[in-house]
Amino acid sequence: MNEVHLQIFKSEYLESLSQFHLPHEQEKFTAMPSEMLEVSNKRHPIVILNKLEPVGFFVLHSSERVKEYTDNPKAMLLTAFSINFKHQGKGYAKNGLNQIDSFVKKLFPWSNEIILAVNYKNISAQKLYKKVGFKDTGNRKIGKLGEQYIFSYKIT
C-alpha cells in the first residue's frame, strides 16, 4: 500500500518542516521549507507525507515568475524541492514526484506543464527528475550557482 502522498501545506506541518536538515552540499541547491511557506493564490507550498509525517517539500508557482522559464501560460514552476536528510534514500522523492500529474490535475486543472530549473552540478536531482518523466528542454538559465537546466513535465 502506498502511504506517500502530496498535500497542500497546513500549519500542522510547520514544526516538522522547520526541523528539516540537509547537508551543505544539498542545501546550496535548494531553499529550506521553513523559508518557503508563504502561501498566496499563485504560490502553493506542497508537503510530501509518508503516512502523516512530512518527509519532503516543494513549492508550485503560477505567478509571473513562471514566464522566466517558459512561454506556456498554463505552466507551473516547481521550486525548493527537498527531502529531509533523515528520510533520504527511501524512495519518497520519486514516489512523491510520481504523483505530481494526478495532484496537479486535481488541484490545478487548468495547468498542463510543470517547469523547474536544476543546477548543472546537481546530478542526483537531474537523474531523479528524468526518472519520473521530466525532460530537458535544452533551455538554460544562469542562477546563483551557475548554469541551470530547464526541465519540463507535461501533464497528461
Is 91 part of a structural domain of the chain? yes
Is 31 part of a structural domain of the chain? yes
Is 144 part of a structural domain of the chain? no
Q: Which tens digit of pLDDT belongs to each residue from 54-73?
A: 999 999 999 999 999 999 99
Looking at the 3D structure of the chain, how many domains does it have?
1
User: Distance between CA 42 and CA 148 in Å, rounded?
Assistant: 23
Q: Which of 76, 93, 77 is nearest to 26 (CA)?
A: 93
* pLDDT recorded at residue 1: 43
**Structural domain harbouring 99:** 4-117
* Predicted TM-score of the model (pTM): 0.92
Is 132 part of a structural domain of the chain? no
The most confident of 23-37, 39-53, 54-68, by mean pLDDT: 54-68
Is 9 part of a structural domain of the chain? yes
CATH number at residue 35: 3.40.630.30
Is 67 part of a structural domain of the chain? yes
